[in-house]
Amino acid sequence: MIGFLSPFILLGLLALPLLWWMLRAVPPAPSRRRFPGVRLLLGLKDPESIPDHTPWWLLLLRLTALAAAIVAFAQPVLNPRAQVAGSGRLLVLLDGGWASAPDWRLRLSRVEGIIASANRPVALRLLTAPLPAEGDLGFTAAQDLAPIIQSLSPAPYAPDRDAFAAWLSENPQEPFETLWLSDGIGDAASLASALKAHGKVTLITGLSPAVSLLPARIEAEMLITPVHRVDTRAAQTIPLIAIGPAPDGIEQVLWRTEASFEVGESDANAPFDMPFELRNRIRRIALAEGGSAGGVVLADSGLIRRKVALYTASDSQEGPQLVDPLFYLKKALEPSSQVIRGTLDELLLAVPDVLVLADVATLSEEETKRVLAWVEEGGTLLRFAGPRLAAASRDLGITDPLLPVRLRAGGRQLGGAMTWDTPKRLRPFTDESPFAGLQAPEEVEISAQVLAQPGPDLVGKVMASLEDGTPLVTSARMGQGRIVLFHITANAEWSNLPLSGLFVDMLTRLSVSARNGAASADELVGQNWLLTRALDGFGNLVDASPSTAISGDTLTSGPRDAASPPGYYQSNEREVAINLIHEDALPYALKGLPLGIAHEGFAAQPETPLKPFFLLAAFMLLTVDIFASLFISGRLTGGAQAALVLLLLVPSPQAKAQDERALLAADNTVLAYVLTGDTRTDEISRAGLYGLSRTLFERTSIEPVDPISIDIERDDISLIPFLYWPISDQQAPLSPLAVSKINRYLRNGGMIMFDTKDAHLGAGSIHGAALQRLTAQLEIPPLAPIEPDHVLTRSFYLLEVFPGRWAKGQLWVEAPSSLTTIEGAPFRNLNDGVTPVVIGSNDFASAWAINPQGRPMYPVGSGARGERQRELAKRFGVNLIMYVMTGNYKSDQVHVPALLERLGQ
């Protein structure tokens, strides 16, 4: 949409036809030229009839130029904003919810524009902010609001429009005009009519309402994330990323996928078809672009598939399946976990998350020790009682270290033919129990159990008990893991608990099983939850400030609000992720707007004045006109033609030579340097590596071709053995993709040499800081100043110092891991300790640099000593590349005497 600030100037366009007529009538002015040969020309006649008016295309050119100039001075504007004209009070209302987050910057700049141009009392309100206490909206001078605009941020929940509408009706206001920057979703009926009652309302909405993610679930071994969108007008593909910790604990993008929408579709599923182990590491799933709280799904144990090992002593397949001690467990766990079975040895080797021992009385001492060690490292041992355990306890009164409580000899039978008692029901779970909130069905009855030995610490270990208070489930912490004992069998022999749904819920609570998808209401109610980490409006996780506990009812009922924002909540060591969007309350397009509300598109593009472009066009047309006129009058000769050709020559973008580059790197040995964005530094790097390549060619069997430059963001570095990376403060920060690329490169044997070029690696230096910034995300091992016996000192030349253009800088390499002296060879054992990075500060490239004639380009030191230093620098370069190529081979060499000696025997 184009508007004009001074439209009346466009009337000038009416004059163009007149101009046309005038220009047509006037022939091009002749040029006067002194020429002695004129006498010979006298009497000659022009042989052809020449048109004596300007050719039409030249006229058109001139008229277009003039029209462009006229349009330019009418000040055209692309995406013009409504002028905040008018007087009286103005309320600027922002929805401020999560759906505003993707274009929050634009909204704020829009608000800034409004406030800057409003010359009247203005009030600024976020619908997500607490309601004003006093009966006034706080209208104030516009300039007072300007400083606070940039500090506004969206809330991770939806705006409460009805509350503000109610407040307006309770607190009568003087008339005011409203500019409402809405996020385009939700019900706006009550607020819109309330605002309309006070004055003119202009609704400004974004280009398209936000896209939201629904809690992920697992289907057919695939992680499915439902994606919901409000604007269904166009087909769309929305990229998603899954984020989780890498093995080193640093969060990174684990997987990418996308959700495809057809026209008219509002829901789509984004599948994450990723390996099991990787999937278990997912911490959250987010939209790759346009982040908001609604565009993030936090993952909790619901997405984790645990590896559960089932083991029973009577592992016979001969008996009827239904009395198999593990049958019900298997049924309960299989949908949601990876269940493995086998001998105890095999199971422990598989490092399961949970080990279930169903009715196993005794383990060998060795097995006990191993299981114990596994539990202490964080395993969950889940034991079920049974006839064997009961028999063992009767015999021994055991104090098995793998039981949470001591058992009394024998168990008890309830409601059997020989007893007076009736089968017992469950006592409601206490608040401290991890099962708190679960409802025990009436029909669950326990008819036999093993009994815990009463003791002072028994109470703390009980997780569930029967009506009469006898413990049913007990647990004990052990190291980082825990041991849980169900005092009943895992099959229906002693009770019908395994037959009930409660059994599955209990397993879930014990983190043995996992629910699929979001935490259900049953899981949350009845407990108090403490917010640990919260989502902000942009979808970033922030540590929550200490807050009061929130009851699970609040979390399950009603939408998220300021009191219960989405995030991670904790209760009794259990953590659940509460997400913003629930499938029962999907976002929908703004509705309920009364008539008579001005609606304005919220242009994604900011207002763009087009005047410069039109002026430029006019200018260029006139330039063309100059040449055209010259051409017409025959004065376009020689140099002028060349200039025209130069003007017309559009520099063609250089074709990318990625493939050639890769081929070059694959077919040859090639050194590479990283482009820093600083032309001078890059040139030095190139010349330096060129010099080093020549030196290598002359002195060693490494025969590199000319060095290549690497754009670290775009180019493939996997084929480059050595990267020289001078540090420049102009280096752009690395993108996540580049970081992962470099990390992969370093892991797989690449070497990067960072050179700060400032001769000292102090924390204070600019380049040092730049280096720290740059390498913050890279997987760089612990570094140490180079040892005098490092392989670098003898990989080709024997060196003691490593000078470049400067001599004093310290060289840092990976810290040695072990220090072994070998008989007869006082060398460090550095096998496989090839450092992935070398960090120096001596400006090596400048010392190596030679020009195409082979002469050094930069002075090093002074006089003969300087040349000696340059020679040493070259030797260091040779050593370095040798080290890159041969690794710790020279370190191995020191074993040769020992090896020879052994061979001799």
Q: Where on the chain is the footprint of another protein (CB under 8 A)? A: 27-42, 44, 46-48, 50, 52, 632-635, 637
Q: Find the shortest distance in angstroms from Cβ 688 to another protein.
A: 45
Nearer to another protein, 51 or 249 (CB): 51
CA distance 194 to 653: 58
Nearer to another protein, 634 or 854 (CB): 634
576 with 519: CB under 8 angstroms?
yes
Residue 815: closest CA among 793, 839, 794, 799: 839
Residue 539: closest CA among 124, 129, 303, 240: 240
For residue 842, what are its two tokens? 């001596």
Nearer to another protein, 33 or 902 (CB): 33
Nearer to another protein, 246 or 632 (CB): 632
Nearer to another protein, 39 or 680 (CB): 39
Q: Find the shortest distance in angstroms from Cβ 60 to another protein.
A: 20
Nearer to another protein, 87 or 633 (CB): 633
Nearer to another protein, 38 or 263 (CB): 38
- Put residue 584 in one of left, alpha, beta given phi > 0 → left and psi -120 to 50 → alpha: alpha
Q: Find the shortest distance in angstroms from Cβ 61 to another protein.
A: 18
CA distance 347 to 401: 19
Nearer to another protein, 28 or 290 (CB): 28
Give bridge partners of residue 825 from the DSSP assignment: 822
Strands 528-535 and 541-543, how do they pair? antiparallel
Nearer to another protein, 321 or 641 (CB): 641
Q: Find the shortest distance in angstroms from Cβ 37 to another protein.
A: 5
Nearer to another protein, 8 or 35 (CB): 35
Nearer to another protein, 40 or 798 (CB): 40
CA torsion angle 109 110 112 114 (round to 10): 170
Q: Find the shortest distance in angstroms from Cβ 613 to another protein.
A: 34
Helix (H/G/I), strand (E/B), else coil: 767? helix
124 with 115: CB under 8 angstroms?
yes
Q: Find the shortest distance in angstroms from Cβ 22 to another protein.
A: 19
Residue 104 belongs to what H/E stretch?
helix 104-117
- Which ranges of 94-183 would DSSP assign to H, the alpha helix? 104-117, 142-149, 161-170
CA distance 414 to 423: 5
- Put residue 456 in one of left, alpha, beta given phi > 0 → left and psi -120 to 50 → alpha: alpha
Q: Find the shortest distance in angstroms from Cβ 626 to another protein.
A: 14
CA distance 122 to 177: 9
CA torsion angle 335 337 340 344 (round to 10): -130
Q: Find the shortest distance in angstroms from Cβ 693 to another protein.
A: 47
Q: Find the shortest distance in angstroms from Cβ 644 to another protein.
A: 16
For 665, other C-beta atoms within 10 Å of its C-beta total 22
Beta strands in 313-363 (DSSP E): 338-341, 354-358
CA distance 327 to 154: 51
Q: Find the shortest distance in angstroms from Cβ 51 to another protein.
A: 9
Nearer to another protein, 37 or 852 (CB): 37
CA atoms within 13 A on the CB side of 283: 16
Strands 2-4 and 76-78, how do they pair? antiparallel
Nearer to another protein, 38 or 648 (CB): 38
Q: Find the shortest distance in angstroms from Cβ 624 to another protein.
A: 18
Q: Find the shortest distance in angstroms from Cβ 63 to another protein.
A: 22
Cα torsion 45, 47, 51, 55: sign = negative
- Which ranges of 510-635 would DSSP assign to H, the alpha helix? 521-524, 552-556, 611-632
Q: Find the shortest distance in angstroms from Cβ 620 to another protein.
A: 24
CA distance 820 to 828: 5
605 with 110: CB under 8 angstroms?
no
Residue 839: closest CA among 762, 898, 900: 762
